Chains A and B, each alone.
Chain A
Amino acid sequence: MNSLKRGGLWTPSMMGGLLLGLCLLILAVVAPVMLSTPASELTGQAGQDPSADHLLGTDNLGRDNLARALVATRLTLLMTAGATILAVVGGMVVGVGIWLSSPRVRKIALRFLETAVAYPSLIFALVIAAILRPGVVSSVVAIGIAGIPSFARLTANLAAKISTSEYVTTARLLGVRPSAIAARHILPNMAEPLLILATTVFALSLVELSALSFIGLGVQSPSYDFGLLLNESLTQIYTQPTSVVGPSVMIVLTGLAAMLLGDALAARANPRASRRAVRRPFTPAVAEIPDRDTALVRVENLRVSVPGGADLVRGVSLTIEPGEVVALVGESGSGKSLTSMSVAGLQAEELEVQADVLRVDDMNMLGQPDRSRLGREISVIYQDPGSTFNPSLRMGVQLTEVLRTHLGMGRRRARKLITEALAQVNISEPAHRLRQHPHKLSGGMRQRGMIATTLVTTPKLIVADEPTTALDVTVQHEVLRQFRRIHRTQGTAMLFVSHDLGVVEALCDRILVMKEGEIVEHLTPAQLKSHDVRHPYTKALMEAVPVVDVSPRVTAPQESL
């Protein structure tokens, strides 16, 4: 599972692209030599339908359509290669020039390039076609120059990025000569992305060169490339519809070869951590709600696993009485978040959740409980690394969501209640906050906003997953105070997940320590306070808690589901 591992070289698209490219190359060399007679000789057999002699029929001058399409490969490939080389060399020269120039010039030049890149390159090509007479050279020049801006921009950006990278800075500090830096670090690191773009430029040049010929501004008869052949076939489309096939197929195949190679190179340079396709097995609703126990939450033998893979939670059992605050502590990857999300019925789609019993109140969380009831009775508060609220929606919409969707309130009434609730959790200018977007609020404000919603919806259970982790120490205290307040005033039961023993000690009635998907120790706050712990893992956790507040805080890496 090494995500940095580079993709293999001999992928199917690389093989396909190379094979196709090779065939086209051979065709470009051989076809004009072998097929020049049927492709150019005027015969009396004009406008014939496909036959054994002429697989794609003949054109209106009696020339074999297939032969012409194959012969055109050479000119098309030569022109495309020429335009690509022009774009690549020109783009690199311009790009390096921009990178070498003063910051002021660089900024202006980049702005110009941005503007130029945004324009359809065919318009540039038309400008050049208007200056020069239509023909092979002018269309190569036109398409080549039109491709320069995008290449120049990539070169300049890459050079800038690499020259500020750590290894170049280090080399510079070590006194390596600039020319050596360029040769050893900058150019090799630019080669791959430039090569990938070059294949794209090749494919685009092919399409655009053929387009120029197709509209009559490129290759002029009697020379012909794919584009001109397509153009000619369009003029005889009613009499000879099959003449379209040759040039169409050849253009597509040539483009495909370049695309496949480009894709293969890009995939090699930038392999995405390939997500294994997993089918979620049908999970039978096992749980019969057992005898009349008083617990609000009952979990028996909860197992969470990647289908066909590792077990992430291995047989966790826990209960939460009404009004009780239970903490799950442990380090990242201990399965505490997975456990709490399974209790809330929000496990990730690709994970498999099984349990003997998994219920909240009388809702079987392994089945599909009523959505509206879930929304009213279970509130979930997440860690806030700044992304828990939708950045493109105002706070008001999001904070009133449960009220409007599940409690049937109108917009105005929901807003009024939320405004009051926000004031209760000490948020200044609450009405104004509702009109703001999430990024305008601090992390502490957003978390208190979440807590405020529970003041109105009065859920039976709050599942809080590391709600204070991403916050400053002072803000943490304020948020914790609000949790305590909710608990005190409404008697809400909570499942509180944290890696911070100090935080849970102050808030929780019981503490469950998790390690590697299992609960290893049950503690009371008093035991925690007096350091009366037995399991070595808990001891290690306790030692990890910074004693002095001024010491640099160790924030656990975000636990991801």
Chain B
Amino acid sequence: MSASIVHQESQPVAAPPTTGLRERPWLRFSLRRLGGLVLSFVLLVGVTFVIVPLIPGDPAIAAAGQEASGAQIEYIREELGLDQPLYGQFLDYVGGLFTLDLGTSFTSGEDVASVILARLPFTAELAVLAISLVLIISVPVGMLVAYLTHGGRRPWLDHLFNFVTSLVYSVPQYVMATLLVVVFAVGLGLFPAAGAENLSSLVLPTLALMLLPTCVVSRVVRRETAVVLDQDYIRTARGWRIGQVRLFGRYVLPNVITTTLTLSGLILAAQLGGAIVIETVFAWPGLGQGIVDAILSRDYPVIRGTILILGLMATVIIILVDVILAIIDPRTMEAEA
């Protein structure tokens, strides 16, 4: 780099004065993501902590229920650390987190960490399967529709695509889930309506969870592909007369994926929210069902732990999308520097 004076060309990226981090975009990128993770964790800890102090009236009574005995209320008061001042409660809570001690479930008496650990795989299975299927289906479909309708061709396909995706988009996931149960479980008897016994019980929850985001993401992919197809570099690649398969696989896809992931990162994280509702439809023994039960029975240690873990999962998805983006297209990373 030091010998570049010899060459006449102007350096497009002016080398900034040495500030360390700027020269190492990867390091800067990683530090920022780490910072984001820490920030999210701090926020989540704060939010989950305030759940109990914010309960109107006496939290211990609220948790124990109206008919609880004095001893039960006292037990809960002690378990939640309500006998201490607020800062003491907070220190207890944070201290417990560092030793992975999330408390004990009021209803089952089990360790909260193990309650969550037992449910986590079910939610993860559903979410990962749905997200993968969403991407696997919507990227090719969106690209194909964009290709087939590019330059105003096949207007009927354009209308059909818009109609179908809007139709599915306007049906909330839990309504879709209910309808799927009616048709495929009650009507046709093809798949079980509830439970998580075998692979076939995975079909309906996954379908219910993935249909809506598939439509949203394939619309995004279609629009982005249309934008990419009009770019100069596609014109350049056409000038090299490469085949359609290579053109789309090598020249269109990476650019579509970048913008698609940027836009659909949030959609994918939102699938955790969808999963919570879907799980209750299908009696799927995951975190979503767990938190609903916990809220109904006011099992505060489980509520806190589950929300913390759901929030962290959302954070991880968001950061993962960022990292994948940076690997595919280093400019997104350098843009931050």
**Contact with B232, one of A238, A385, A472, A478 (Cβ below 8 angstroms):** A385
Among listed A64-72, A112-120, A321-329, interface-contacting one: A112-120
Most buried by B among A350, A393, A475: A393
Question: B1-28: which have CB < 8 Å to A?
Answer: 4, 6-13
- Give the number of A-B contacts (CB < 8 Å): 223
6 CB contacts below 8 A, A to B, read A123-B314, A216-B296, A237-B193, A390-B254, A405-B241, A442-B10
Whole-angstrom CA separation of A259 from B167 in the bound complex = 11
Contacts of B281 in A (CB 8 A): 234
Contacts of A406 in B (CB 8 A): 241
10 nearest CB pairs, A to B: A120-B273, A122-B273, A380-B239, A349-B151, A375-B241, A392-B254, A277-B152, A387-B232, A350-B151, A428-B7
Whole-angstrom CA separation of A280 from B232 in the bound complex = 22
**Contact with A350, one of B152, B175, B193, B318 (Cβ below 8 angstroms):** B152
Q: Is the CB of B6 within 8 A of A279?
A: no
Whole-angstrom CA separation of A349 from B229 in the bound complex = 11
Q: Is the CB of B179 within 8 A of A390?
A: no
A401 interfacial by beta-carbon distance below 8 Å: yes
**Contact with A111, one of B39, B169, B241, B255 (Cβ below 8 angstroms):** B39
Q: Is the CB of B153 within 8 A of A280?
A: yes
Given known A-B contacts A130-B295, A214-B277, A392-B255, A233 and B235 have beta carbons under 8 A apart: no
Q: Is the CB of A118 within 8 A of B152?
A: no
Q: Per-residue CB proximity of A339-350 to B under 8 Å, as 1/0?
A: 000001010111
Q: Is the CB of B241 within 8 A of A374?
A: yes
Given known A-B contacts A230-B174, A428-B4, A248 and B310 have beta carbons under 8 A apart: no
Given A121-B273, A244-B182, 11 new contacts (CB under 8 A):
A112-B43, A130-B303, A216-B296, A217-B295, A230-B175, A233-B178, A241-B187, A244-B179, A349-B153, A380-B236, A392-B331
A389 interfacial by beta-carbon distance below 8 Å: yes
Looking at chain A's contact residues, the main secondary structure is helix
Looking at chain B's contact residues, the main secondary structure is helix
Min Cβ gap B269→A in Å is: 6
Given known A-B contacts A123-B307, A392-B255, A279 and B153 have beta carbons under 8 A apart: yes
Min Cβ gap B144→A in Å is: 16
Given known A-B contacts A256-B170, A346-B235, A389-B236, A237 and B56 have beta carbons under 8 A apart: no
Question: B272-303: which have CB < 8 Å to A?
Answer: 272-274, 276-277, 280-281, 291-292, 294-296, 298, 300, 303
* Residue on A nearest B150 in the bound complex, by CB: A349
Most buried by A among B246, B266, B273, B294: B273
A412 interfacial by beta-carbon distance below 8 Å: no
Q: Is the CB of B307 within 8 A of A126?
A: yes
Query: B: which residues have CB within 8 A of A?
Result: 4, 6-13, 36, 39-40, 43, 47-48, 51, 54-56, 62, 150-153, 155, 158, 166, 169-172, 174-175, 178-179, 181-182, 186-187, 193, 231-243, 246, 250-251, 254-255, 258, 265-266, 269-274, 276-277, 280-281, 291-292, 294-296, 298, 300, 303, 307, 310-311, 314, 318, 328-331
Q: Is the CB of B182 within 8 A of A126?
A: no
Q: Is the CB of A401 within 8 A of B56?
A: no
* Residue on B nearest A472 in the bound complex, by CB: B10
Q: Is the CB of A210 within 8 A of B151?
A: no
Q: Is the CB of A248 within 8 A of B250?
A: no
* Residue on B nearest A239 in the bound complex, by CB: B186
Contacts of B193 in A (CB 8 A): 237
Q: Is the CB of B296 within 8 A of A217?
A: yes
Contacts of B276 in A (CB 8 A): 122-123, 126, 215
